[in-house]
């Protein structure tokens, strides 16, 4: 009888471990608001640290490109581990896959940062834009800046 109980407990434990391995992770739902022109594309970069944030999307943990079709967009990022993140978004109006800048190096296309972080001099810091993913589904609202 003890052997049957032991085997049952071990079987249940193996099922539990297998289910935890198959869990897809968390989802961040990004709601972009204030898109003025319904043309071009949005380039979204998701960072897990300050390395590269927000001006080097090639150093992002994950990125997404979405066609602009409305003044507000919803972008879902699935399968993410729990942790701290920050998001940088560019409305790439001319679809050249980069943020265009003027002769002074300032953004020439609309952009947005998680926590709607802004900075007087230079881009916002990771610590100002960071948020923590703690559940299965978290929503981040970002207002696009002109």
pLDDT digits (tens, 9 = 90+) for 82-128: 999 999 999 999 999 999 999 999 999 999 999 999 988 889 999 99
Pairing of strands 26-33, 73-80: antiparallel
Per residue in 1-51, pLDDT tens? Answer: 544 443 443 444 454 444 444 457 999 999 999 999 999 999 999 999 999
pLDDT for the residue numbered 1: 52
The answer, as to whether pTM is greater than 0.75, is yes
Q: Tell me yes or no: is domain 24-143 CATH 2.60.40.
A: yes
- Please enumerate, as own/partner, the contacts of 57-66 that have beta carbons within 8 Å and a separation of 24 or more: 57/88, 60/88, 61/85, 65/41, 65/97, 66/41, 66/42
Domain boundaries, the chain: 24-143
Sheet architecture: strand order including 73-80: 73-80, 26-33, 137-143
CA distance 61 to 25: 15
Average pLDDT over residues 49-66: 97
**Scanning the structure block, which residue is given the tokens 């948020």?**
131
pLDDT for the residue numbered 121: 85
Distance, CA of 135 to chain centre: 14
CA distance 60 to 44: 9
């Amino acid at each position: 009888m003890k052997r049957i109980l032991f085997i049952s407990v071990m079987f249940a434990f193996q099922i539990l471990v297998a289910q935890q391995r198959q869990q897809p992770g968390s989802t961040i739902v990004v709601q972009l608001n204030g898109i003025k022109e319904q043309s071009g594309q949005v380039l979204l970069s998701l960072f897990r640290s300050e390395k590269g944030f927000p001006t080097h999307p090639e150093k992002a943990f994950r990125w997404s490109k979405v066609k602009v079709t409305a003044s507000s967009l919803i972008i879902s990022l699935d399968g993410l581990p729990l942790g701290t993140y920050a998001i940088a978004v560019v409305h790439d109006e001319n679809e050249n896959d980069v943020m265009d800048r003027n002769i002074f190096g300032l953004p020439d296309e609309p952009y947005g940062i998680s926590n709607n972080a802004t900075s007087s001099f230079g881009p916002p810091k990771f610590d100002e834009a960071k948020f923590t993913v703690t559940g299965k589904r978290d929503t981040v609202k970002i207002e696009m800046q002109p």
